[in-house]
A = this chain, B = another copy of it.
Amino acid sequence: MQTRKVDVAIIGAGTAGMTAYRSALQHTQNVVVIESGVYGTTCARVGCMPSKLLIAAAEISHQIDQAAQFGINVSGKVIDGDKVMQRVKSERDRFVGFVEEAVENWPSEHKLIGQAKFLSEHELQIDDHTRVIARNIVIAAGTRPAVPGPWYALEDRLLINDDVFSWNSLPESIAVVGTGVIGMEISQALSRLGVRTHLFGVGDRFGPISDPVINDEVNKILASELTLSSNAAVETVAKTDSGIEITYQENDELKTGNYDYLLAATGRRSNLDSLNFKAAGVVLNDQGFPNFNLATGQIEDSSLFIAGDVSNAHPLLHEAADDGRIAGDNAGRFPDIKARPRRAPLSIIFTDPQITLVGARHSELLESEIDFAVGEASFEDQGRSRVIAKNKGIIRVYGEQSSGLFLGAEMVGPAAEHLGHLLSWSVQHRLTVQQMLDSPFYHPVIEEGLRTALRHLNLDLKMGPVPVERCLDCGPGA
């Protein structure tokens, strides 16, 4: 058993841990990063990157199916599951490789492999080989998939999204349980790649969407292209000779389905519980998490900082990276800590059409004291969306009465990832709805659908005129 005395110990070498490390180095070289598993981030290994690769293949397959309406006839489309997964994995490995390479270049005295357990606010036990005494500690231990216990009886027929990305080919069929971000993205992609897919959800709720109009539209869109049980209670799961059987309640009926695999997209769970965190002497809230300051990363007024998915605040790469930068910097400069303004909220779900949530959510506004108005536009008849046959979806934008300030939006529709950036930058820079309307909108673009929604919002705010039907100054089919 060795003992290390460091200025900053960082638990976890994922996205948040890596940025925390780089920030802490600005203050001290006496830093150690403790990693319990393999190097490489959730994002690169099993998250953003491989899912986007699978979606890219699915999108191509879907485009081919749409080709006839453009006058392009395709015969003999064969989805080569081996080749699909080959590209997903080789590109994924390339991205993971960059992360591993970065870690390899760290001095060896900055790395420690093992499971960290708190002994006190300033002491960590790493497996049974090292005791780390740290002036400050950054907790960036990430998450792991959360799977109902009984499902483990399915053995190799139970998948979490990690497993999907190690497939050598595509299965014939799959049950995806969970209509969160991962459940929606993966089930649509697999369905478009020819896998018989059944998506199960509870309470007709989809991911983090809070606006009921958008939630309903997503329900309608997904139901139109895959088998969707958006309000079902999975009763039992069982392994069969050739796969699995699910028994579930839906519309007061007990039903049964058979599939090759069950993908548990039932969320991820913080690794905080594996750290013996109670020994740090911090009070936890009802959800079992410590209270911390988003602008500093500091847990109460302790020498402890928290960053990334482990905090349960916002499991998004760009937020984790900011968390890490802030927490690592403050752990390094402690006690002279600094608050850093956070970016405007932005979430994107890479279904087709995509989903984006920006700024204040509809549910937050309803719960708040804010007097707000809503503008809405459909993409069904939006010119450019129709030109490219992507005319599905709805956008809802929210603005504050009296001030005309743009507050946020929820949307399912074409190019939502790009509109999400435009809208979150507008929240960040505190634009009014009128200032947004005064900005350039080219023609013919999908952004013109956003403009229609903003015009309706401005009317509802009593700050703009009645929008012109089939607006000609917007250009034909704006």
Give A contacts to B, CB under 8 Å. 15, 18-19, 22, 41, 43-44, 48-49, 52-53, 56-57, 59-61, 63-64, 66-67, 69-87, 91, 94-96, 98-99, 101-102, 316-318, 321-322, 324-325, 341, 343-346, 348, 383-384, 386-389, 415, 417-422, 424-426, 428-429, 431, 435-436, 438-445, 447, 468, 470, 472-477
Other than the given A22-B473, A63-B63, A75-B77, 13 more pairs (CB < 8 A) read A52-B388, A72-B79, A72-B84, A73-B80, A75-B75, A95-B383, A101-B470, A346-B440, A348-B442, A417-B442, A418-B447, A421-B440, A421-B442
- Report the separation of the CA atoms of residues A66 and B443 in the bound assembly, to the nearest whole angstrom: 28
On chain B, the residues within 8 Å of A71 by CB distance are: 57, 79-87
On chain B, the residues within 8 Å of A341 by CB distance are: 438
Contact (Cβ within 8 A) B98 A476: yes
- Report the separation of the CA atoms of residues A435 and B445 in the bound assembly, to the nearest whole angstrom: 26
- Report the separation of the CA atoms of residues A285 and B80 in the bound assembly, to the nearest whole angstrom: 64
Contact (Cβ within 8 A) A439 B443: no
- Report the separation of the CA atoms of residues A325 and B468 in the bound assembly, to the nearest whole angstrom: 13
On chain B, the residues within 8 Å of A474 by CB distance are: 321
- Report the separation of the CA atoms of residues A387 and B48 in the bound assembly, to the nearest whole angstrom: 11
**Complex A-B: 19 CB contacts under 8 Å:** A15-B472, A22-B468, A43-B443, A49-B477, A53-B387, A59-B388, A72-B77, A74-B76, A75-B76, A95-B383, A321-B475, A325-B473, A343-B439, A344-B440, A346-B442, A417-B442, A421-B440, A428-B439, A428-B440
Contact A84/B57 with A318-B440, A346-B440, A440-B428 known, Cβ cut-off 8 Å: no
Contact (Cβ within 8 A) A421 B443: no
Option from B72, B98, B386, B431 in Cβ contact (under 8 Å) with A477: B98
Contact (Cβ within 8 A) A49 B476: yes
Contact A422/B422 with A71-B87, A72-B64 known, Cβ cut-off 8 Å: yes
Option from B60, B345, B443 in Cβ contact (under 8 Å) with A48: B443
Greatest chain B CB density within 10 A among A75, A435, A442 is at: A442
Contact (Cβ within 8 A) B64 A387: no
How far apart are A131's CB and chain B's nearest CB, in angstroms?
29
Contact (Cβ within 8 A) A442 B420: yes
Contact (Cβ within 8 A) A70 B60: yes
This protein's copies in its complex: 2
Option from B15, B75, B101, B325 in Cβ contact (under 8 Å) with A475: B15
- Report the separation of the CA atoms of residues A472 and B18 in the bound assembly, to the nearest whole angstrom: 7
How far apart are A392's CB and chain B's nearest CB, in angstroms?
15
Main secondary structure of the interface of A (DSSP, over half): helix
On chain B, the residues within 8 Å of A418 by CB distance are: 415, 418-419, 421-422, 447
Greatest chain B CB density within 10 A among A18, A85, A87 is at: A87
Contact (Cβ within 8 A) A445 B417: yes
Option from B84, B96, B387, B429 in Cβ contact (under 8 Å) with A56: B387
- Report the separation of the CA atoms of residues A444 and B421 in the bound assembly, to the nearest whole angstrom: 12
Contact (Cβ within 8 A) A70 B87: yes
Option from B44, B77, B95, B389 in Cβ contact (under 8 Å) with A74: B77
Contact A343/B440 with A79-B71, A425-B426, A476-B44 known, Cβ cut-off 8 Å: yes
Closest residue of chain B to A16 (Cβ to Cβ) is B473
On chain B, the residues within 8 Å of A18 by CB distance are: 472-473
On chain B, the residues within 8 Å of A56 by CB distance are: 70, 387-389
Closest residue of chain B to A474 (Cβ to Cβ) is B321
On chain B, the residues within 8 Å of A421 by CB distance are: 418, 422, 440-442, 445, 447
- Report the separation of the CA atoms of residues A76 and B317 in the bound assembly, to the nearest whole angstrom: 41
- Report the separation of the CA atoms of residues A72 and B83 in the bound assembly, to the nearest whole angstrom: 8
- Report the separation of the CA atoms of residues A341 and B440 in the bound assembly, to the nearest whole angstrom: 12
- Report the separation of the CA atoms of residues A447 and B440 in the bound assembly, to the nearest whole angstrom: 18
Option from B49, B81, B475 in Cβ contact (under 8 Å) with A317: B475
Contact (Cβ within 8 A) B48 A317: no
On chain B, the residues within 8 Å of A442 by CB distance are: 316-318, 346, 348, 417, 420-421
